[in-house]
Amino acid sequence: MGAYMQLAEQRAAGELIGLEERYGAHNYNPLDVVVERAEGAWVTDVEGRRYLDLLAGYSALNQGHCHPAILRAMVEQAHRVTLTSRAFRNDQLPLLLEELHRLTGFEMALPMNSGAEAVETAIKVARKWGVTVKGIPDGTAEVLVCEGNFHGRTIAVVGFSSEPQYKIGFGPFAGGFRAVPFGNAAALKEAITPRTCAFLVEPVQGEAGIIVPPDGYMREVAAICREQNVLLIADEIQSGLGRTGSLFAFEHDGIRPDMTTVGKALSGGFYPVSAVLSSREVLGVLRPGDHGSTFGGNPLACAVARAALRVLVDEHLPERSAELGAFALERLRALRSPHVVEVRGRGLWIGIELNRPARPLCEQLGQRGVLCKETHDTVIRLAPPLTISREDLDWGLGQIEAVLA
Ligand SMILES: *Cc1c(COP(=O)(O)O)cnc(C)c1O
């Protein structure tokens, strides 16, 4: 063992980066900060430098890094039992399902692992509902999606992306998807046909650059879907679980979708856990054998998710997001910078649109001890842990102001 396994502490950052570049696929272009440990809103690199994390694992770390309550639940559960597979039952899954119901109001849930899997699952369920309940001929059901969407990286999902890089070279793709402009309810209404089983939408588009739709959009969309007997699927994998200042982003419009996907912060960053939340009518279309996952609903994942949800409630993270988000947005909007085109956001989820590439500014922020990441070349995305202190946030915003000035 010792011959080929050296401890990370013995390796310098440059050497670790070299190993990653040499032996790993280059499907990311990360900032060259080699993180060794983290706590709350702060991470420490292998050289002992500390950074304020304003990305929070794309919102998987809403509860902050290594939250002690989630860590405890994970370690305790790992000592008991980690995996049963769904061939047998375990004592954690029923409790997670009940707690999801109590917290979100949805009647049923189907646990998966990654976010993309939850989206694929929602699409499968919507299609089967379309065939068995709505009466769409099998194999012809259509799902409407939005331009600028991001729902993950599986073949079916990238097949309906409007981002060329996500698709080029990866076809052929699954049929049965059509895109309509985001934020335009009339275009959705126009596009619905008798074969439409669902409309899949992010209530706020995350990867597209924190795009908040016009007021009332989700409410209109919900009404159209109800009238036309089309399922409304809200992908809340990034926008949900407190990020926008409420438990779900769709609450801002006072609506309830037929299905919601959650992931990312469902585990507080410890472990991949996702789920599809819906009604008995919709999830009830699945029969034993229709769908599954070896790790989906495993007791370790469920114990972690239960603890992560408890932190969200006990620490009032949606409320914190609303409060700190309003503070940050006001401050950034007051910023006078020749580089800033627009500052937008909802809760502690903010996009700073620039008239120049955002990457060099993110690198400068890294040198000042602040981690954030560009999205779509010209947008700086801010999504700090919702547990961040006002003082730390204030300091981080000061660094951003300095770099943009
Ligand atoms: C991150 C994300 C996904 C995909 O989640 P993975 O866990 O990376 O598969 C899906 N939908 C939205 C809105 C996301 O932000």
79-82: long-range pairs with CB below 8 Å, 24+: 80/299, 81/299, 81/300, 82/298, 82/299, 82/300
- Residue nearest to ligand 1 atom 11, measured at CA: 151
Q: What is the pLDDT of residue 282?
A: 98
Give the three-state DSSP class for 120. helix
List of residues 6+ apart from 229 with CB closer than 8 A:
134
For every residue of 39-89, DSSP letters joined together read EBTEEEETTS-EEEESSHHHHTTTT-BT-HHHHHHHHHHHHH-S---TTS-
Side chain identity, residue 215: D
Ligand 1 in contact with 392 (CB < 6 A)?
Answer: no
* pLDDT tens for each residue of 186-223: 999 999 999 999 999 999 999 999 999 999 999 999 99
Across 91-97, average pLDDT: 98
In terms of Cα–Cα distance, which of 59, 15, 42, 29 is closest to 369? Answer: 42
Q: How confident is the model at residue 11 (pLDDT cuts 50, 70, 90)?
A: confident
State yes or no: pLDDT of 174 exceeds 70: yes
State yes or no: pLDDT of 48 exceeds 60: yes
Domains of the chain listed by start with CATH number = 33-63+317-404 (3.90.1150.10), 68-314 (3.40.640.10)
Q: What is the pLDDT of residue 1?
A: 44
In terms of Cα–Cα distance, which of 217, 212, 143 is closest to 179? Answer: 143
State yes or no: pLDDT of 170 exceeds 70: yes
Give the three-state DSSP class for 342. strand
Ligand 1 in contact with 236 (CB < 6 A)?
Answer: no
Across 278-286, average pLDDT: 98
Tokens 């790790």 belong to residue: 295
Dihedrals phi, psi of 230, to nearest 5 degrees: -115, 135
Side chain identity, residue 149: N
State yes or no: pLDDT of 98 exceeds 50: yes
274-278 and 108-112 strand pairing? antiparallel
Across 289-298, average pLDDT: 97
> For the chain, what is the mean pLDDT?
96
Q: What is the pLDDT of residue 4?
A: 55
- Residue nearest to ligand 1 atom 6, measured at CA: 115
- Residue nearest to ligand 1 atom 5, measured at CA: 115
Q: How confident is the model at residue 10 (pLDDT cuts 50, 70, 90)?
A: low
What does the block give as tokens for 261? 């996907």
The Å distance, Cα 142 to ligand 1 centre, comes to: 21
Q: How confident is the model at residue 2 (pLDDT cuts 50, 70, 90)?
A: very low
The Å distance, Cα 264 to ligand 1 centre, comes to: 7
* pLDDT tens for each residue of 101-131: 999 999 999 999 999 999 999 999 999 999 9
In terms of Cα–Cα distance, which of 302, 342, 347 is closest to 321? Answer: 347
What does the block give as tokens for 308? 């992560």
Q: What is the pLDDT of residue 9?
A: 53
